[in-house]
Amino acid sequence: MIRIAIIGLGSSFGDDRVGWEVAQAVTSAHWPQNGEHNRIRVECLDRPGPAVVGRLGEADCVILIDAMRSGAPAGTIRQLGIDEIAAASSTHSSHGFGLAQAIALARALDSLPRQLILFGIEADSFSGDGLSPPVKAAIPGLVARITEHLLALTPEGLPARAVQRQGA
């Protein structure tokens, strides 16, 4: 079993790609491109639908990264636990099948990890090719928060060869 899975969610449209960008930044900042062990897996998925449900039970801890809309200023970073995500309405997701639905399905299938965290960045725009300035500016802070969380989960530190990276 993979100990930690980091999953960037999104699409190629505007700020919706921030989950992918953060997942790639976390990988680039700490690990080589290819890992040899199965302790930490970093991957990017298109939307939080059924593919996420299948990934949740594969790790002890799952860190999800996604764009969100909750009414906060663009670039605001939020951290939600499993109960907060499950209680959230689908309006916090930019996708039709949101994380709340994915968690409910995973719970029904008895496929939840021991720990599930969503790091979300408040989006400004879901159109265009690039990230909006406030969302782009939030990425280094979010990478730092995820790194702190990973260090807390892995007391020996982040092993140099502990990542399996899978593409979007």
Is the overall model pTM greater than 0.85, yes or no?
A: no
CA 108 vs CA 8, 56, 90, 121: distances in Å: 23, 12, 18, 28
Q: Which domain holds residue 71?
A: 2-162
pLDDT in tens, the chain (168 residues): 558 899 999 888 999 999 999 999 988 766 544 443 447 888 999 866 777 888 888 888 999 999 998 899 999 999 998 888 777 654 444 445 677 888 888 889 888 998 999 999 999 999 888 899 999 999 999 999 998 888 777 655 444 334 444 454
- Domain membership of residue 168 (yes or no) is no
- Domain membership of residue 41 (yes or no) is yes
Which of 1, 110, 114 minimizes the C-alpha distance to 63? Answer: 114
CATH number of the structural domain spanning residue 19 = 3.40.50.1450
In the chain, the number of structural domains is: 1
